[in-house]
Structure 1
Amino acid sequence: MEKNTELPFTLSVIMQRVPMNNRWQPFQWKPLEILADTPDAKIHQLMSGDGEQRWLFPGFSATLHVDETPGYFLNLSSETPCWFVMWRMEEVDGVELAVPKSVSLSYDEAARQIDGGEQVDILPLSTDVAAWLAEYTQQYFRYEGKKPRKRPSFEGGEGVQKMAIAEASVNRKTH
């Protein structure tokens, strides 16, 4: 596999709006399914009834990058490997919809999006895509061990001076 490789087909995300018995939130949006795109697919409503709606959003790709392999490894190591779907509420043709913006396989990328205030939901990964992801991850993932702990700089003055003295005494003993 190439270092940056793409799933050999594009994806569609089906978003579902379900009614809720809640006075502050009358309905909830969530991704329902990810499937292979069909030719000339476009955004359209799949169904509507009893307050429920389903919308199809096509045109997503799944591209793997070497620098995301730790995130792929974490995803594959979980109990249920999954897709991460980042979405936002937007108006489409006068209708407010939950519009998917990206689809990822990296746990780390999803965590960064959540930390940035984005809405990210998960869907289970098919065994075929999980096998493809595992093959890529096995080829490129390298465990780098724990990163060295940074020394605290928040102590200031006396704390920094104590660390400098301690470090100097250790250096004298080793030389």
Structure 2
Amino acid sequence: MHSPDTDSNVRRPGLRAAVVMRREYIGNQWQPWRWNLSDVVPNEAAFGDKPRLLIKDEQQECWLHPNFLVELSLGDAEGYYLNVTTDHPCFWVVWRMEEEALLADEPLAVPQIVTLSYHDAGRWLDAQENVEQVAAPAEVVFWLKDFVAQHHVLEPKRRQRPQSFKSLQDRFGSPARVSTDKFRGGGGRG
């Protein structure tokens, strides 16, 4: 990836990315083709501003969607923290099928948003959007880790209050009784 934007006109740290969507032949009688996210790559001026077809044959079709701004927000530092502390930090892409796409003969999968926030991805998934992920390159992960180190504050663990107000239950969920009587010797009370 190219280095993130440092232009003084940019209010929040960000980088420009392009999304590659892939339509692949799966041969299912009800759905012969399916769309999925193929990659998120550094945006280049040569890509232009409009989506374009990269590859088309009988097995696949790949479309490049350029010029997405991936911004970092101070208010979502925890979402970025959750991303960079996983084994595989990633980009998430929200995409939708567009029936009226003038660029293709069939409906086209069009990316809407690209993010590095775990929280954003979760909200879109909750809204039942198409959200897919792809691994973020090392330079993006380092950039994101630097942002997290500067802006994320871990909340201190709160001490759990004693549970003395709760009624006791045995292992079967029935109310339990506690006695302070002492038992001595062969089963008798005394």
Specify the TM-score bucket, using the shorter chain as the normaliser. 0.7 to 0.9
Deviation at residue 21 of structure 1 after TM alignment: 2.9
Residues 60, 3 of structure 1: CA spacing in aligned structure 2 closer, same or farther, 3 A cutoff?
closer
Q: CA RMSD in A?
A: 2.2
Deviations 1:42-100 (A, max 9, x none): 21111100131000101101100011111111111111100001000003105311100
Which letter does structure 1 place at the counterpart of 2:63?
W
The TM-score with structure 2 as length reference comes to 0.71
1:106-158 superposed Cα distances (whole Å, 9 cap, x missing partner): 01100000001101000000000000000001100012246899xxxxxxxxx
Output one character per residue of 1:8-64: Cα deviation in whole Å (capped at 9) or x when no partner: xx2110100011132222112111111122212421111100131000101101100
Q: Distance in 2 between matches of 1:85 and 1:147?
A: 35
Is 1:50 paired with 2:58?
Answer: yes
Distance 1:115 1:148 in 2: 31
> Larger strand proportion, structure 1 or 2?
1
Q: Distance in 1 between matches of 2:58 and 2:14?
A: 39
Identity score, percent: 32
TM superposition score normalised by structure 1: 0.77
Task: Note the 1:1-175 alignment, pairs <5 A.
Answer: 4-7=12-15, 10-39=16-45, 40-91=48-99, 92-93=101-102, 95-145=106-156
What amino acid is the match of 2:129?
E
- How far apart, in 1, do the equivalents of 2:90 and 2:124 lie? 16
Unmatched runs of 5 consecutive residues or more in structure 2: 1-5, 161-190
> Rg: which structure is higher?
2
Name the aligned partner's letter for residue 20 of structure 1.
I
Number of aligned residue pairs: give it. 147
SS in 2 for 1:50: coil
Change (3 A) 1:3 1:79: farther
